[in-house]
Amino acid sequence: MKTTPAGIDFIAGHEGFLPYAYDDFNPAKYIMPGDPIQGTLTIGYGHTATVKPGQRITEAQGKKLLAQDIQAAEDWVKRNIKVDLRPWQFDALVSHAFNTGGSSNLAKLVNGAPTVNFGGKNYNLGQWWTQTYITSKGKPFAGLQRRRNEEYKLYTENFYT
């Protein structure tokens, strides 16, 4: 299974494209060598693995990095999800894994566990998906909350159609 073109657009739309190395806490600031970084050094469409301060890329380079990062997220879904998925469900899970690195608790819930316990609280699938991974370095982000809600809606309702 592969991410659909609509799924790629979904991920790219949530990530946005910036051609320069930036701190995800302050995307408007081009990070140069020696600049302090509060969050995660990022470039292009949410790429974090090989970014260096002062780096710039073209949109074509950003799309190549996006494809590589999506492949890694697809691989995570394929390794961890054991149930059959519809294409839009796969896309939603790839988006989540792309952004978070993957969640073993989400995998348990998608694979059929009725709830998971985390921090003394039981979560069902909808609660886990929409109430976790909505912060960066402990700070709540409205964009992450919106993304988690849209991923869950895509997973459960296929809003592509």
Span 10-25, pLDDT tens digits:
999 999 999 999 998 8
What is the rounded CA–CA span in Å between residue 87 and residue 135? 27
List 15, 59, 74, 150, catalytic entry: 15
Closest C-alpha among 133, 8, 151 to residue 66:
8
Predicted confidence at residue 120, as pLDDT, reads 94
Average pLDDT over residues 116-142: 92
What is the rounded CA–CA span in Å between residue 48 and residue 3? 20
Give every CB contact of residue 46 below 8 A, 6+ residues apart in sequence: 11, 14, 15, 16, 66, 69, 98, 99
Span 38-55, pLDDT tens digits:
888 999 999 999 999 999
What is the rounded CA–CA span in Å between residue 104 and residue 116? 10
Delineate the domains of the chain, giving CATH numbers in brackets: 5-157 (1.10.530.40)
pTM of the model: 0.92
Catalytic site residue 15?
yes
Is residue 161 predicted with pLDDT exceeding 70?
A: no
Predicted confidence at residue 137, as pLDDT, reads 72
pLDDT grade for 138, boundaries at 50, 70 and 90: confident
